[in-house]
Amino acid sequence: MTTKNDLPIDDNGAPHQTTEEGYDTLTTQHGVAVSDDQNHLKAGERGPMLMDDFHFREKIFHFDHERIPERVVHARGFAAHGFFECLEDLSDLTRAAVFKKGEKTPTFTRFSTVAGNKGSPDVARDVRGFATKFYTKEGNWDLVGNNIPVFFIQDAIKFPDLIHAAKPAPDRGFPQAQTAHDNFWDFISLSPESMNMVMWIMSDRTIPRSFRFMEGFGVHTFRLINAEGKSTFVKFHWKPKQGLQSVVWNEALKINGADPDFHRRDLWDAIQTGDYPEWELGLQVFDEEFAEKFDFDVLDATKIIPEEEVPVRIVGRLVLDKVVDNFFAETEQVAFCTNNVVPGIGFSNDPLLQGRNFSYLDTQVKRLGGPNFTHIPINAPQCPMRNFQQDGHMAMHNPKGRANYEPNSWGTEEGGPREDPANGYRHYPEEVSGQKVATRSETFADHYSQARQFYLSQTDIEQTHIANALTFELSKCQEMRVRKRMLSHLRNIHEDLAEAVADGLGLELPEPAKAARETKTDLKVSDALSII
Ligand code: HEM
C-alpha cells in the first residue's frame, strides 16, 4: 500500500494509518504516528523544551537541512521530460543506438540562465543553458549546451575568472559597481577571444521570449564513431519548431518586474495544456581533412562552422511532454556532464570541452553530497547498471550475492559483470605523437572575423539592438579605460557599430585594438592592457 505521496507503508493493519476523519495519519520519518504537530513538548505549561520531543527535533532538523548548494553556474533552471525520436539512419556515421532510425529515447531537458542565482529573474540578459539527458539503451548521453553556438573563452582554465567577473563580488555579495558591469567588461575587454560571443550576447538572443523559442547548440566539435571505428566530427544544433523569438529590452525589464518566473511558467503552461514544444536535432558533420581547410580551428569554441559551408542536416526531434512531479528531486538534483557519452559518440580535443569533462563531476560530488548521485532516479540510467562500486553516502545499490571485486574466478552468477571488449565504450584512438607541450594553438588567434560576420548577418533593427545593448551596458561601466578598450575592439568588428556606441556614450573613438591575427601570436593580457 502507498500513501497519497507514494511513501510505502506495509499494509499490516496498524490502527493509526488513517485518522478518525479518514485522512492519512501524519507520521515521523520512522513511521510513528504523531499526536500533536502544533506544540513542542515542555516541562509544564511555561517550562523549557524537553529533549524527549523526537518529533520536534526531527521536524526542525529536516527543515534545517532542506537546502543544498546551488549550482556554481546555471543555478536557476527549469526542466521537463520528453523523448527524442531519430528520424534518419545514421549507422554510417555512428554506432550509437540513439541514432537508429525510429528509435525513441526518453529525455530530460533543463533550461537555465548562467549568471543569476536560484532566485534571479527569468528574463535577465544572459546566455541560456540547454542541457538534455538521453536515457539511451546503452547508457546516459548528456548534450550539455547553450542557446548560443559559441563561447566567451577558448580554454577552460579561464572559466573561474569569467564567472567571478560576472557574478556578485565576494566582499559585498552583489555585483561590483552598479550591475557587475565594471568587472565583467574589464575581463571581456582583456579577453579579445570573447568578441564573437559579445556580439551574440548583445543581440536579442539573450532575451528570449521563452525557452520554447530558443535554439540550442552543443557548441564544441564532438565525434561520431561508427561500427568500423571511423570518426567524423560533428556539431549539434537544436532548432525550435515554434520558431526563434525574443523580447525587446524594455519588455524584458517590465516582465522581470511583473513576473520573475515568466519563462518557467510559460513552459509549464504549454506542457500542461498539451501544447508540447518541439525541437529538431540538426548535425553538421565533416571529416578531419575538411576541418583542415577552414582558416580557423574547429577545436576553438569561439568559432562557428558556417552553415553555408557545412549545412545542418536534420536527423531527429525532441518533444517535451511531461512536467516534473518533484522540482527538487528532478530539476535540482539532475546532474548533467559532458563526460557522459555512449558508444558511438566521443570528444574532440577542444580545450574548453576537455576542462568541462573534469569540472562537472567534480562539482556534482559536492553539490549532491557524495559519489552516489547516480542512484538518484533522475540521474540513473534506464538500462542495466552493474559494476563493483559500493558504499559511500546514500549508497542504494551495493553488489548483492556476488563478488564485489574483479578479476575473480567465480562463474556467471556469482562472479558479477565482466568487461566487454567487443561492445563496450572505446575511446577514439586519435594519434597524438609528435605534439609538444604548449599552451594555445596559433590558429585560435583570429578574434574578430566571425564577430563581424555575425554582426553583418543581423537586420538593421537587430544591429541597432546590439549597439543599444552595448551602449546601455557600457554606460553602467564606471571605468573609462574599460569603455575605451571595448570601443577599440568594436572598431575591429565594424566601424559603424563602434561609432554608434561611442556616440551613445559621448566618447571619441580610440585607436583600434591590436589584432592578434596580424601579429600571428595570441594576444597576451599585457598587449591588451597596452591598447589604450
Ligand atoms: C553547468 C553549459 C562551459 C562548468 C552548466 C549547465 C549548462 C552548461 C547547460 C547547466 C546544467 C544543468 O542544467 O544542470 C556550458 C557550456 C559551456 C560551458 C555550453 C561552454 C561551451 C563550462 C566550463 C566549465 C563549466 C568551461 C568549467 C571548466 C560548469 C559547472 C556547472 C555547469 C561547474 C554546474 C554543474 C552542476 O552543479 O550540476 N554548464 N558550460 N562550464 N557548468 Fe558549464
Q: How confident is the model over 399-425, as pLDDT tens digits?
A: 999 999 999 999 999 999 999 999 999
Instruction: Output the residue whose Cα is nearest ligand 1's atom 25.
Output: 356
Told to judge if 146 belongs to the known catalytic residues of this protein, a careful annotator would answer yes
Rounded average pLDDT over 429-454: 86
Say yes or no to pLDDT of 356 above 50. yes
Cα 91 from Cα 368, distance rounded (Å): 37
Active-site residue (options: 55, 81, 146, 494): 146
Q: Is the CB of 336 under 6 A from ligand 1?
A: yes
Q: What are the residues whose beta carbons fall under 8 Å from the beta carbon of 204, sequence distance 6 or more?
A: 246, 247, 248, 462, 465
Confidence band for 11, pLDDT divided at 50, 70 and 90 = low
Strands 278-286 and 313-323: antiparallel
Mutate which of 68, 74, 113, 362 for ligand 1 pocket (most atoms within 8 A of beta carbon): 74
What is the DSSP code (8-state) at residue 318? E
Distance 153 CA to ligand 1 centre (A): 13
Q: Which amino acid is located at 372 in the chain?
A: N
User: Which grid coordinates are listed for 11?
Assistant: 499494509
Q: Which amino acid is located at 248 in the chain?
A: V
List, for residues 300-314, the tens digit of each pLDDT value: 999 999 999 999 999
Half-sphere exposure of 344 (CA within 13 A, CB side): 20
Block residue for cell numbers 582554465? 157
Distance 155 CA to ligand 1 centre (A): 14
Q: Is the CB of 304 under 6 A from ligand 1?
A: no
Say yes or no to pLDDT of 255 above 60. yes
Q: Is the CB of 493 under 6 A from ligand 1?
A: no
In ligand 1, which atom is closest to the CA atom of 144? 9
Nearest to 376 by CA among 325, 324, 330: 330
Nearest to 133 by CA among 125, 121, 142: 142
CA distances from 202 to 190, 223, 455, 506 (A): 17, 31, 10, 20
Instruction: Output the residue whose Cα is nearest ligand 1's atom 5.
Output: 74
Instruction: Output the residue whose Cα is nearest ligand 1's atom 9.
Output: 129
ω before 407 within 30° of 0 (cis)? yes
What is the DSSP code (8-state) at residue 8? B
Told to judge if 74 belongs to the known catalytic residues of this protein, a careful annotator would answer yes
Are 58 and 31 in contact by the 8 Å Cβ rule? The answer is: no
Cα 149 from Cα 200, distance rounded (Å): 9
Q: Is the CB of 210 under 6 A from ligand 1?
A: no
Q: Is the dihedral of CA 489, 495, 497, 500 positive or negative?
A: positive
Active-site residue (options: 74, 181, 465, 489): 74
Q: Is the CB of 492 under 6 A from ligand 1?
A: no
Confidence band for 172, pLDDT divided at 50, 70 and 90 = confident
User: Which grid coordinates are listed for 88?
Assistant: 534518419
Q: Please give the pLDDT value at position 532.
A: 43
Q: Is the dihedral of CA 295, 298, 304, 310 positive or negative?
A: positive
Instruction: Output the residue whose Cα is nearest ligand 1's atom 16.
Output: 145
Confidence band for 521, pLDDT divided at 50, 70 and 90 = very low
Q: Please give the pLDDT value at position 516.
A: 58
Confidence band for 440, pLDDT divided at 50, 70 and 90 = confident
Q: Is the CB of 218 under 6 A from ligand 1?
A: no
Instruction: Output the residue whose Cα is nearest ligand 1's atom 30.
Output: 360
Please tell me the pTM assigned to this model. 0.94
What is the DSSP code (8-state) at residue 241? T
Where do the H-state alpha helices sit in 35-107?
54-64
Nearest to 95 by CA among 191, 186, 227, 223: 227
Q: Is the CB of 197 under 6 A from ligand 1?
A: no
Distance 279 CA to ligand 1 centre (A): 21
Q: What are the residues whose beta carbons fall under 8 Å from the beta carbon of 451, sequence distance 6 or more?
A: 195, 196, 198, 199, 493
Distance 168 CA to ligand 1 centre (A): 18
Q: What are the residues whose beta carbons fall under 8 Å from the beta carbon of 521, sequence distance 6 or more?
A: 442, 445
Distance 73 CA to ligand 1 centre (A): 7
List, for residues 132-166, the tens digit of each pLDDT value: 999 999 999 999 999 999 999 999 999 999 999 99
Between 17 and 381, residue with greater pLDDT: 381
Rounded average pLDDT over 75-103: 98
Say yes or no to pLDDT of 505 above 50. yes
Between 215 and 525, residue with greater pLDDT: 215
C-alpha angle with apex 328: 338 to 64, nearest 5 degrees? 120
Q: Is the CB of 214 under 6 A from ligand 1?
A: no
Q: Is the dihedral of CA 483, 488, 491, 492 positive or negative?
A: negative
Say yes or no to pLDDT of 512 above 80. yes
Mutate which of 205, 267, 360 for ligand 1 pocket (most atoms within 8 A of beta carbon): 360
Confidence band for 181, pLDDT divided at 50, 70 and 90 = confident
Say yes or no to pLDDT of 531 above 50. no
Q: Please give the pLDDT value at position 2.
A: 45
Say yes or no to pLDDT of 518 above 70. no
Q: Is the CB of 217 under 6 A from ligand 1?
A: no
Cα 149 from Cα 127, distance rounded (Å): 10
C-alpha angle with apex 140: 134 to 146, nearest 5 degrees? 55
Instruction: Output the residue whose Cα is nearest ligand 1's atom 33.
Output: 360
Mutate which of 155, 358, 359, 373 for ligand 1 pocket (most atoms within 8 A of beta carbon): 359
Burial bucket for residue 253 (CB in 10 Å: 0-12, 13-18, 19+):
middle
Q: Please give the pLDDT value at position 1.
A: 43
Distance 39 CA to ligand 1 centre (A): 45
Phi/psi for 211 (5° steps) reads -60, -30
In ligand 1, which atom is closest to the CA atom of 131? 9
Q: Is the CB of 150 under 6 A from ligand 1?
A: no
What is the DSSP code (8-state) at residue 265? H
Say yes or no to pLDDT of 6 above 60. no
Instruction: Output the residue whose Cα is nearest ligand 1's atom 13.
Output: 110
Burial bucket for residue 391 (CB in 10 Å: 0-12, 13-18, 19+):
exposed
Burial bucket for residue 249 (CB in 10 Å: 0-12, 13-18, 19+):
middle
Q: Is the CB of 73 under 6 A from ligand 1?
A: yes
Say yes or no to pLDDT of 76 above 80. yes
